[in-house]
Amino acid sequence: MFEVYITKAGKYLPNEAISNDEMEAYLGLINDAASKARRIILRNNRITSRHYAVDKQGNPTHNNAELTQLAIEKLYDANFTAKDMECLSCGTSTPDNFLPSHAAMVHGLLKNQSVELNSSTGVCCAGMNSLKFGYLSIKSGNTKNAVCTGSERVSTWMMADKYEQEIVNLKNLEEQPIIAFKKDFLRWMLSDGAGAFLLENQPRKDGVSLKIEWMDAFSYAHELEACMYAGGDKQDDGSIKPWSDYHPDQWLKESIFSIKQDVKLLDEHILVKGAESMSEAMRKNNITAADIDYFLPHVSSHYFVAGLKKALDEKGVGVADEKWFMNLGRVGNVGSASIYLALEELLNSGQLQKGQKILLSVPESGRFSFAYAYLTVC
């Protein structure tokens, strides 16, 4: 078995940063009315800026594959070029197409040579799953390097015009033309961007590398129903009726393809299962909070930070406040790319010292999954 190192990290955030007051200028007004939930949601998540791959007219400036390509290109240098790539593993919640896979579309843009591909789907853990594929590929000796990515282009999913037909339908039914909170909520939470890691079986002689000591993941789908979903709608029994079982005219009338969040289910389980899974990962791999110098938790909103600290403390795995490293407020919640963007910032900050330990923690509310990685600075 070979050792695996993150030897370089890159990111791409499209266009200029967008403030809270500018958001509706890009996403548009649903039913020509400002969202009543927007200010409350933004006050709780404490995100002050984010990036969208659209202009103020709502025209796309990049697709997801292009964002990913641009992040990958930040990895190239004198020691690693596109022609050196052996494995490409890409994770996203928001691929440009159902088929072909996201990784195949990114590879098509790279125009380098034949490589092994992996596409990871899901929600936020898709980026960690893509990282694990690259990690295992190198660990087993299957490849000497791997490029792993997390990316999202969610802005076009949240444009006001995507909800127009549902509003018309509600008016025709003489109901209040207001989009359900489970749909409006995420319009003020999510944003666009991509991150990329270069994994190799040797550390770089110059600069900082991060040795991946272990990765672990947990799913609770066997006991909990879906919390965040798209391309279907939840039924009374908690099951998801898929888009293909709806009549085509319902796709627009009921915004079937919109991203939805069951916020009550989220509040009830995300912190409890997060603390449970992190405690198990640390126990299984024989580390304690004292063995962590930097804790990088992906959280969707600062609303959850105090609760997460309390839940971790109750499980005996609480990490001191000064060890937490987060950039949510500056870059926004970029789903599967968020952990890449946080680690890229830390890795390139100049503050890491050899021997320090980093714990990455990524929850996914899709059907409650959690992923972890433990790294050593070398």
Architecture of the domain made up of 212-229+257-377: 3-Layer(aba) Sandwich (3.40)
pLDDT band at 178 (very low <50, low <70, confident <90, very high): low
- CA atoms lying within 13 Å on the CB side of residue 261: 19
CB atoms within 10 A of CB 72: 27
φ/ψ bin of 322: left (φ > 0), alpha (ψ from -120 to 50), beta (otherwise): alpha
Determine the pLDDT at residue 185: 87
Bridge partners of 11?
195
Phi/psi at 311 (5° precision): -65, -40
Residue type present at position 310: K
Q: Is 176 exposed, middle or buried (0-12, 13-18, 19+ CB in 10 A)?
A: exposed
**Selection from 74, 107, 113 nearest residue 90 by Cα:** 107
State residue 173's pLDDT score: 67
What is the tens place of the pLDDT at every residue in 189-226?
A: 999 999 999 999 999 999 999 999 999 999 999 999 99
Superfamily of domain 5-207: Thiolase/Chalcone synthase (3.40.47.10)
Whether pTM exceeds 0.75: yes
* In the block, residue with structure tokens 């690693």: 80
Q: How confident is the model at residue 183 (pLDDT cuts 50, 70, 90)?
A: confident
Contact 217, 120 (CB under 8 A): no
Domains 5-207 and 212-229+257-377 share a fold: yes
- Beta carbons within 10 angstroms of residue 89's beta carbon: 27
Could you write out the DSSP letters of every residue in 248-310? HHHHHHTTTTS-EE-HHHHHHHHHHHHHHHHHHHHHHTT--GGG-SEEEE--S-GGGHHHHHH
- Provide the residue ranges of all domains of the chain, joining segments of one domain with +: 5-207, 212-229+257-377
* Region for residue 31 given its phi and psi (left: phi exceeds 0; alpha: psi -120 to 50; beta: otherwise): left
Convert the pLDDT of each residue in 271-317 to its tens digit: 999 999 999 999 999 999 999 999 999 999 999 999 999 999 999 99
The answer to whether 51 and 192 have CB atoms below 8 angstroms apart is yes
Q: What percent of the chain has pLDDT over 90?
A: 89
Q: What angle do CA 346, 323, 284 make, to 5 degrees?
A: 100
